[in-house]
Amino acid sequence: MWTKNNIPDLSGKTVIVTGANNGIGLEITHAVYEKGATVIMACRNSDNAEQAVRHLKKRGGNGTLKIELLDLANLKQIKGFSDKILNDHEKIDLLFNNAGTMVPPAAKTDDGFELQFGVNFLGHFALTGHLYPRLKTNKGARIVTMSSGAHKFVDRIDFGNLRLEIPYDAFREYAVSKLANLQFMCHLHELATLKGDQLLSLAAHPGVSDTGLSRHMAAADYDAAVKQFGKLMPAWQGALPALFAGISDEVNGGEYFGPDGLNELKGYPARAAVSAPAVDSSQGALLWDYACQHTGLQFP
């Protein structure tokens, strides 16, 4: 059973966590901060981020916490954030593409994409692309992208419905964004391997965890989910698969981790099941080309 007690000393490591001020992101941040890492807390709201820092310092840690504002719904702002990181930090050891939104009311990013696709996937694609030159020069660096068991509910990405072209289905769009994240992780692993870049691209999901991600769910839907799944895991436990992917020596690039219990809903880190579309190289290539076209990035 792997827990954060298995995390070694991380002094001298630089870790970026998106959505670091609450839920899974907060617990990832605390775990690596405890072990001495310099943690760049990439957050959208400065007040919430500062409150999170006060909370984390009360819990205690041996590392350093730095707030940097990041709005994953704005591609121009993502570039500005990345430029500052590249200017201020000579190396990046670990990038947790963690932030996300789930089943919000229909909305678009500043660049016109359906919000869940734009934030959960495209924003993280752009962030990774901008930071990639620094990541690839650090042998052993890792990129951990968050997905969900919901990725299994769709079998392809409809490129004709990424800007709310058809009537909005909140859960379908969430599932699409999480399938995109897995295709992104897998295709990045393929490309990095072909290029000989010695970094690891991995993914994780938190099972059913008690976080603010469910805030947009209707009360009846949330109550039904709790009735179906039982008591939700605490956020610290939901963070373990991502931490395992980012830190354990027992992982390989292209792997996906989640809880080891029934249907991957609860438990401790283990390899997770992926759908066939998630590992379909041709689908991954189509998504990659789309993302490159709409972000103006080409990497590796």
| Per-residue pLDDT reduced to its tens digit, 10-59 | 999 999 999 999 999 999 999 999 999 999 999 999 999 999 999 999 99
On the question of pLDDT at 217 being above 90, the answer is no
Percent of the residues in the chain that have a pLDDT greater than 90, as a whole number: 90
Distance CA 105, CA 130 (A): 29
* Owning domain of residue 128: 11-294
Q: Per residue in 177-206, pLDDT tens?
A: 999 999 999 999 999 999 999 999 999 999
On the question of pLDDT at 216 being above 80, the answer is no
On the question of pLDDT at 74 being above 60, the answer is yes
End-to-end CA distance of the chain: 35
Question: Is the peptide bond prior to 8 cis by the omega test (within 30 degrees of 0)?
Answer: no
HSE-up of residue 241 (Cα within 13 Å, Cβ side) = 33
Judge whether 33 counts as a catalytic residue: no
The secondary element (H helix, E strand) that includes residue 142 is: strand 142-146
Residue 276: inside a domain: yes
Distance CA 151, CA 178 (A): 5
Structure tokens at 7: 């995390």
Distance CA 192, CA 184 (A): 12
Range 169-183 burial, b when 16+ CB lie within 10 A, else e: ebebbbbbbbbbbbb
Least reliable range by pLDDT among 31-40, 152-161, 165-174, 203-212: 203-212
Residue 108: inside a domain: yes
* CB atoms closer than 10 angstroms to residue 62: 12
Q: What is the mean pLDDT of residues 295-300?
A: 95
- Catalytic one among 33, 132, 168, 174? 174
On the question of pLDDT at 80 being above 80, the answer is yes
Task: Find the DSSP H helices in the chain.
Answer: 23-34, 46-59, 75-88, 115-116, 124-136, 170-195, 219-229, 235-238, 240-247, 281-295
The secondary element (H helix, E strand) that includes residue 143 is: strand 142-146
pLDDT, mean over the chain: 94
Place of tokens 């991600």: 213
Residue 109: inside a domain: yes
* CB atoms closer than 10 angstroms to residue 79: 17
Structure tokens at 134: 């620094």
pTM confidence score: 0.94
Q: What is the mean pLDDT of residues 58-75?
A: 97
Residues facing 39 on adjacent strands:
15, 65
Q: What is the mean pLDDT of residues 133-137?
A: 94
Residue 1: inside a domain: no
Q: Residue 111's closest CA among 297, 295, 236?
A: 295
Distance CA 210, CA 226 (A): 10
Residue 299: inside a domain: no
Distance CA 44, CA 27 (A): 17
Distance CA 275, CA 283 (A): 12
Q: Per residue in 223-266, pLDDT tens?
A: 555 556 667 889 999 999 999 999 999 999 999 999 998 999 99
Question: pLDDT band at 210, cuts 50/70/90?
Answer: confident
**What confidence score (pLDDT) does residue 42 get?**
98
CB 28 within 8 A of CB 243: yes
Distance CA 247, CA 94 (A): 9
Task: Provide the CATH number for the domain around residue 178.
Answer: 3.40.50.720
Which residues, 6 or more positions from 298, have their beta carbon under 8 angstroms from its beta carbon? 129, 292
On the question of pLDDT at 126 being above 80, the answer is yes
On the question of pLDDT at 213 being above 90, the answer is no
Residue 40: inside a domain: yes
The secondary element (H helix, E strand) that includes residue 15 is: strand 14-18
Number of structural domains found in the chain: 1
**What confidence score (pLDDT) does residue 232 get?**
82
Least reliable range by pLDDT among 92-101, 130-139, 203-212: 203-212
Residue 228: inside a domain: yes
Residue 3: inside a domain: no
